A = this chain, B = another copy of it.
Amino acid sequence: MATTQFTMQPIGTAHTPFRDTSGIPRGRGATHTAEGVLEILPELEAGLDDIDGFSHLYVVWVFDRADGYDLRVTPPTDTRMHGVFATHSPRRPNPIALTIVRLLRREGARLHVAGVDMLDGTPILDIKPCTSSIPVDGLRRGWLADAERARRG
């Protein structure tokens, strides 16, 4: 398995208000309400048929400006280190990111969405509908909940 590789090509590009990472709200209390456009390649536009009916979409994209990875990272939400797979850090073995956005409207191959948190020009690998929701009361949030409690004092 060590030699297995998978090659991915962008299906499109995200247009967002964020020119550099310092502008992206992050950490505790960050609200991702920024609007942006997911522009899909014209030759893939038919793949968007009927996507308008979904309120929320998963966007799988690439941290294309991340360079390398760390196994343990200190997220902006905490002062302690955690395993990278217990965080959404960009410095991960495969620089894959996942964002849930709210679909505002579709214009041909352009999806207008709210909740973007990626840099302008970010390559998109996939879009999928959110078809189910985890019950809020069944969700445990590990170190993140601890860090939030600690900061609230």
Closest chain B residue, CB of each to CB of A38: B85
* A10 interface contact, C-beta 8 A: yes
Please give, as numbers and ranges, the residues of chain B lying within 8 Å of A130 by CB-CB distance: 134, 139
B128 touches A56 (CB 8 A): no
B133 touches A11 (CB 8 A): no
B133 touches A133 (CB 8 A): yes
Partner of A46, one of B4, B83, B125, B133: B83
Interface residues of A in 88-132 (CB under 8 A from B): 88, 92-96, 98, 100, 123, 125-132
Closest chain B residue, CB of each to CB of A82: B50
* A135 interface contact, C-beta 8 A: yes
